[in-house]
Amino acid sequence: MRCPKCTSIEDKVIDSRIASDGNNTRRRRECLECGHRFTTTETLVRDNLVVVKRDGRQEPFDRDKLVRAVRVACHKRPIDNEQITMLVEDVIDAVEAEFESQVPTSAVGEHVMQRLRKLDQVAHVRFASVYKEFRDVSEFVDEITSLAPGAAPGTAKAKP
């Protein structure tokens, strides 16, 4: 690790902690040359996951893209960054357990919607409106109706 102050590569780790999500390690470091203290974070790299789009195209899985999509759905809702991080990690763990290396976008979207449904129904509808490509108000109404107490998940009309 390079010191952000003097660019030396000589440092020592003062403290290491596992983040609450269990997937990151936070390290507090001290530069041996200038004494500057700085923090680094280690994250597990998932490099073998490929997303298969609806049109058949494939692209590497992008965790940040998923985080951004969930953040947009949760905008101005009482959901903090840690909840979003945990939701995304749960989704990634679920699709990795279900699929070897090629994950259809539909599986990712369904896992996100399932978790948002429990976390915040407004965020769920927002995400669903983009994921399911709602074309008119009646599709919103169908999705909201499926959220009513006693309604089974997925009772909204499926898109053809």
CB 52: neighbour CB atoms within 10 A? 17
- Give tens-digit pLDDT for 14-58: 999 987 666 688 899 999 999 999 999 887 766 688 999 999 999
Q: pTM of the entire structure?
A: 0.67
Tokens of 158: 């499926």
Average pLDDT, stretch 136-140?
87
Q: What is the pLDDT of residues 84-115, one digit of tens each?
A: 988 998 999 899 989 988 999 999 999 999 99
As a whole number, the mean pLDDT across the chain is 88
